[in-house]
Amino acid sequence: MKQKHKKIDYAKWGYLFILPFFVSFFIFSLIPLIDTIRYSFFEYYRSGIKEVGPNFVGLQNYISLLGSDMLKYAGNTLILWIIGFIPQIVIALLLAQWFVDARLKIRGSQFFKVVIYLPNLIMASAFAMLFFTMFSTNGPINSILMSVGWIREPIDFLGSVLGTRSLVGLMNFLMWFGNSTIMLMAAIMGISPDVFEASELDGCNSVQRFFYITLPQIRPILAYTLINSIIGGLQMFDVPQILTNGQGTPDRTSMTLIMFLNSHLKSKNYGMAGALSVYLFIVSGILCFVVYRMTNNDDPDGSKAAAKKAKKQRRG
Amino acid sequence: MKKKIVSMLLIVVMAVNTFAGCGKPSSSGAGAASASAEEGKVINIYSWNDEFRERVEAVYPEVKETSSDGTVTTLNDGTEIHWIINPNQDGVYQQKLDEALLKQADAAADEKVDIFLSETDYVNKYTDAEANAAMPLSDLGIDPDKDLGDQYSFTKVTTSDTNGVQRGSTWQCCPGLLVYRRDIAKDVFGTDDPEEVAKKVKDWKTMKATAKELKEKGYFTFSSYADTFRLYGNSIEQSWVSPGETVIKVDQKIMDWVNDSKEWLDAGYLDKNVKGQWNDDWNKAMGSASKVFAFLFPAWGIDFTLKPNWDGGDGVWAVTNPPQEYNWGGSYIHACTGTDNPEHVKDIILSMTANKDNLLKISKEYSDFTNTQSGMQEAAADDKGYASDFLGGQNAFKYFAPVAEKIKIAPLSAYDQGCVELLQNCFSDYFQGKIDFDKAKSNFETAIIERYPDITEIQWPE
């Protein structure tokens, strides 16, 4: 007897459905990526309307980048990111905790959730323009401070390192804390209420509950938020670009890596810009690897590691 | 009300057109029409605003009509002018133009760039002999010595390449003046007479003493250190980069500007809160609440910058001779290499930049200081015809004309725009006391090599 062993093959449909993504990824991401890497080994720029190159120069672009102020701009980027990230994560944690705490019974929490998320919807450049106008020496902030009588001379916010950096940090904080709050809220709500109840029966106060239960339980999401923010921070550009007119003033202390990249692209210096992009690519790659390891192996509920252990035990 | 103004304007424009059509013998018109048989049907003009289009519509006799969105102008023989406008901000205009120029050789006839405009800061990038983007005028059949004889000679130098071949022409020239507030002059000097004020600002040394006088009464002489840059920058001895070299030589005059600006700022002669130009603070310094005595502006600056920012009545500002002759700005018309409409292009260039009647009309309608020596002398003498309400009935041309004749344009290079822009930016930190002099220098070096990777060395004057 002939038995029909014909399995219906659904896999081809799956491949067909993901094909558009791979085609567009190939055309719009992979080819440019490879081209960028290729050009990073060439001397290739435009002087006036005359094109120079492409001439192969090997690692010359990479070496001269290391000799330039690249590390200083990396430092700037890091500082600007930290100034924004620390308040962002602290406030987000606090708000998330409050919003999900059933006993606080915050009225209109839905409304507040929308409001704190709103700044994220404004275009970063529009936001920066707004701040630029508000904090200019003749701007409304200075006039308010002066009419209240707190200061006599207008403060030159954008002329000082501290002022400019704090403003960039403040803007990034305002734009992203809502986003993090929503994310952390989801994480906290994912914790089983049993644990909280048990802790309460054991006489745990809210501070202890936060540090010994909530925080360890949401660690993977926290790590994800952190890495996401670092990668976003690496690419920080729109806010300081608009705020300082692309100059990174004063004294290039608010020049980020991407602004540095942009000033190379102004002269169509594809070689140098390519090399810088490759550096950034490597750093982002390392960070991605770290987050991958964190979420997969060190998961506190022990998904992978615990599974391995369990497997071993079963065998043994 | 607005409709009325628009319709009036239209009638005026139409009347002017018919008038121009009648007044001119039809020779050039017929020439263009007969030549159009073998010429392309589309003239592509690259520019950064409507300034040129408005002037073409106003004075070019061949214009029939412009579409309501302003992108296509039809000429009498059916040829269409397509206006390709990209804003100047952030170098967008140059980027788009550069892309088009790189494709010029392979583009279809009607897609080719036929005319493009440039400004003094980067004109040299396009008139460069090696780049060969702008055609020599002689190749179009224009003899610069004969046909453009009435133009100011410095505008011809500006549009010439290093071999002295002229590759562009302009309808306007931009001699600058000192524009001052009459009320402040009265308060401090006891007189607001332009002749008397001119004596107070006749050179930098006198100017400094005057600045002290103004300071004692609580006024600033100029708003920002960038205001005076053109006066110094126009008088550099050698170009920023010599032809064929890759070394930036910073002129002593530029360092003088740095030193003087620092001194003036520290002395309180300039407003510390105004950092550079084209920003909100600068605009506010032109308002009635400001304590700034004077600005240094050419004709367009008074009309397009000062006037819109001034919130008081007419007649408060007046012009007088600046401490030093200078030129600021200017738009140049170039025929693009590879154009398929050489006859039309030639006709437009001649009509817009070499026809005295047309130029005087532009001066009357748009207050441009136009590129005709004899015409401007007439305007200078005609106090009635060229009186400006904004300047309280003063005839500014009387002051512009002698300045224009004395201007000696600084040698240009293709790197000027970046050098000027970045130098002002980098030394801005120094003026405000954020960094020391040497740091500003090294910041400029870093920034300029980023902008122009082919620069190998920066030499500072001793």
Note the ipTM here.
0.77
DSSP 3-state of B449: helix
**Chain A residue at shortest CA distance from B441:** A251
CB < 8 Å to A160, chain B: 434
Q: How far is CA B14 from the centre of its chain?
A: 28
Which tens digit of pLDDT belongs to each residue from A11-62? 888 889 999 999 999 999 999 999 999 999 998 888 777 777 788 888 888 9
CB B186, CB B418: distance < 8 Å: no
CA distance A51 to chain B (A): 9
> Taking 60 as the threshold, does the pLDDT of residue B3 lie above it?
no
Q: Are β-strands B317-320 and B176-181 bridged in parallel, bridged antiparallel, or unpaired? A: antiparallel
Query: How would DSSP label each residue in B156-218?
Result: HHHTB-TTS-B--B-SB--BEEEEEEHHHHHHHHS---HHHHHHHTSSHHHHHHHHHHHHHTT
CB B409, CB B235: distance < 8 Å: no
pLDDT confidence of residue A226: 85
In a domain, A272, yes or no: no
DSSP 3-state of B121: coil
CB A270, CB A44: distance < 8 Å: yes
Cβ of B439 within 8 Å of Cβ of A263? The answer is: no
> For residue B92, what is the enclosing H or E element?
helix B92-103
In a domain, A33, yes or no: no
In a domain, A99, yes or no: yes
CB < 8 Å to B98, chain A: 46, 49
- Above pLDDT 90, what percent of chain B? 37
pTM of the model as a whole: 0.80
- Above pLDDT 70, what percent of chain B? 92
Cβ of A46 within 8 Å of Cβ of B98? The answer is: yes
In a domain, A312, yes or no: no
Give the C-alpha separation, A118 to A287, whole Å. Answer: 28
- Find the mean pLDDT for residues A275-296: 83
CB B458, CB B444: distance < 8 Å: yes
Find the domain containing A223 and state its range. 71-257
* Residue A9: φ, ψ to 5°: -95, 105
What is the residue whose two structure tokens read 């660690």?
Answer: A219
> For residue B194, what is the enclosing H or E element?
helix B194-200
State whether residue A67 sits within 8 Å of chain B by CB.
Answer: no
CATH of the domain at A96: 1.10.3720.10
Retrieve residue B349's tokens: 């260039």
In a domain, A5, yes or no: no
Other C-beta atoms closer than 10 Å to the C-beta of B81 total 25
CB B233, CB B329: distance < 8 Å: no
CATH number of the B176-325+393-459 domain: 3.40.190.10
Cβ of B280 within 8 Å of Cβ of A264? The answer is: no
Q: Quote the mean pLDDT of chain A.
A: 84
Which tens digit of pLDDT belongs to each residue from A136-186? 887 889 889 989 888 888 888 888 889 899 999 999 999 999 999 999 999
CB < 8 Å to A48, chain B: 125, 128, 131, 414
Cβ of B432 within 8 Å of Cβ of A159? The answer is: yes
Cβ of A50 within 8 Å of Cβ of B452? The answer is: no
Q: For an interface test with A, give the residue of B130, B270, B274, B275 to mutate (most A CBs within 10 A).
A: B275
**Chain B residue at shortest CA distance from A68:** B446
> Taking 70 as the threshold, does the pLDDT of residue A304 lie above it?
no
Q: Are β-strands B247-249 and B331-335 bridged in parallel, bridged antiparallel, or unpaired? A: unpaired
Binned at pLDDT 50, 70 and 90, residue B264 comes out as: very high
Binned at pLDDT 50, 70 and 90, residue A305 comes out as: low
> Taking 80 as the threshold, does the pLDDT of residue B20 lie above it?
no
In a domain, A113, yes or no: yes
Q: Which of A47, A48, A251 sits opposite B429 (nearest CB)?
A: A251
Cβ of B133 within 8 Å of Cβ of A161? The answer is: no
Q: For an interface test with B, give the residue of A68, A164, A251, A264 to mutate (most B CBs within 10 A).
A: A251
Query: How would DSSP label each residue in B388-433?
Result: BTTTTTB-THHHHHHHHHH--PPPP-TTHHHHHHHHHHHHHHHHTT
Cβ of B428 within 8 Å of Cβ of A249? The answer is: yes
CATH number of the B2-173+329-381 domain: 3.40.190.10
Per-domain residue ranges of chain B? 2-173+329-381, 176-325+393-459
For chain B, the 3-state helix, strand and coil shares in percent, each to the nearest 5, are 50, 15, 35
> Taking 60 as the threshold, does the pLDDT of residue A303 lie above it?
no
Which tens digit of pLDDT belongs to each residue from B33-77? 344 446 788 999 999 988 889 899 989 988 888 888 888 999 998
Which tens digit of pLDDT belongs to each residue from B149-160? 889 988 888 888
**Chain B residue at shortest CA distance from A69:** B446
pLDDT confidence of residue A309: 62
Q: For an interface test with B, give the residue of A46, A49, A247 to mutate (most B CBs within 10 A).
A: A49
CB B325, CB B198: distance < 8 Å: no
Domain count, chain A: 1
pLDDT confidence of residue A296: 62
Which tens digit of pLDDT belongs to each residue from B384-410? 888 888 898 889 899 999 888 888 888
Q: Which of A47, A139, A247 sits opposite B454 (nearest CB)?
A: A47
Q: Quote the mean pLDDT of chain B.
A: 86
CA distance A238 to chain B (A): 14
- Find the mean pLDDT for residues B298-306: 89
Question: Which region among A203-217, B28-42, B227-241, B280-294 has the lowest average model confidence (pLDDT)?
Answer: B28-42
> Taking 70 as the threshold, does the pLDDT of residue B18 lie above it?
no
pLDDT confidence of residue A83: 93
What is the residue whose two structure tokens read 């600033």?
Answer: B220
Cβ of B131 within 8 Å of Cβ of A48? The answer is: yes
